[in-house]
Amino acid sequence: AQKVTQAQTEISVVEKEDVTLDCVYETRDTTYYLFWYKQPPSGELVFLIRRNSFDEQNEISGRYSWNFQKSTSSFNFTITASQVVDSAVYFCALYNFNKFYFGSGTKLNVKP
Amino acid sequence: DAGVTQSPTHLIKTRGQQVTLRCSPKSGHDTVSWYQQALGQGPQFIFQYYEEEERQRGNFPDRFSGHQFPNYSSELNVNALLLGDSALYLCASSLRPGTHGEKLFFGSGTQLSVL
């Protein structure tokens, strides 16, 4: 069975703090993709990153970074020096067998 | 370059009624997927359309049906509405289905309330 778990329901930080959003996934397949999406209050999910199961190299994009560890089935997302505009719900998703499986999301509140 | 557009934005229906939601994919995309997002939950896959046929389906009853038109736009139909069908319905478009983890582009959704 495919499953994505985001144990952190809601996180509140003060602007400029670093924050890490956790994602743990389950799949028996060896070929799969992992994604992170951001959902602002407008409702539209915005793509952040895609990783395939054979690429465990960490990635950094500006203030965002992702840590993929197959040994622990985790794909964590870190925002450095958070800003108020980062406030949103963040979803981790697993893609295989032509289907997406989303976690329940983590709501991030960044306070000024 | 227009992104994914959905209509209507909001909809209020009563139990037992039927509803049709519409989606136009991002320019250049030929595959449309529909998702149901209940309050406080992640999107749940309903089905995917490609070449005017349903290619994949999630764990949703037959009350949920869809259609894709030759211009790649799509409709989601829900019959015999239940209170539990109240949710945000998201449409996502992508290039043809495959095994390469195609990136989904989402619309802003239709908020359906069933009273």
Asked if the C-beta of B95 comes within 8 angstroms of chain A's C-beta atoms, the answer is: no
- Tell the residue number behind the tokens 């397949």, with chain if given: A29
Asked if the C-beta of B60 comes within 8 angstroms of chain A's C-beta atoms, the answer is: no
Report the pLDDT value the prediction gives residue B111, as an integer from 0 to 100: 96
Give the nearest chain B residue to A100 (CA atoms): B45
Tokens of B90: 């998201």
Per-residue pLDDT tens for A47-91?
A: 999 998 988 888 888 999 999 999 999 999 999 999 999 999 999
Closest Cα of chain B to A83: distance in Å? 23
Q: Are B54 and B46 in contact (CB under 8 A)?
A: no
Mean pLDDT across chain A: 93
| Residue A86 backbone phi and psi in degrees, to 5 | -80, -10
Residue A21's pLDDT band (cuts 50, 70, 90): very high
Going B34 to B105 to B102 to A103, the CA torsion angle's sign is negative
Distances (CA, A) of B108 to A43, A45, A101, B67: 5, 7, 19, 20
Closest Cα of chain B to A81: distance in Å? 26
- Tell the residue number behind the tokens 């199961």, with chain if given: A53
Per-residue pLDDT tens for B6-20?
A: 999 999 999 999 999
State the Cα angle at B15 between B13 and B20, rounded to 5°.
45
Interface probe, candidates A45, A48, A52, chain B, greatest B C-beta count within 10 A:
A45
Report the pLDDT value the prediction gives residue A17, as an integer from 0 to 100: 97
- Tell the residue number behind the tokens 């209940």, with chain if given: B38
**Strand A106-111 and strand A88-96: pairing?**
antiparallel
Q: How far apart are the first and last CA of chain A?
A: 41
* Nearest-angstrom CA–CA distance, B47 and B56: 5
State which amino acid sits at residue B43.
P
Contacts of B44 in chain A (CB under 8 A): 102
User: Which of the 8 DSSP states describes residue B102?
Assistant: P
Residues 2-31, chain B, touching A (beta carbon < 8 A): none
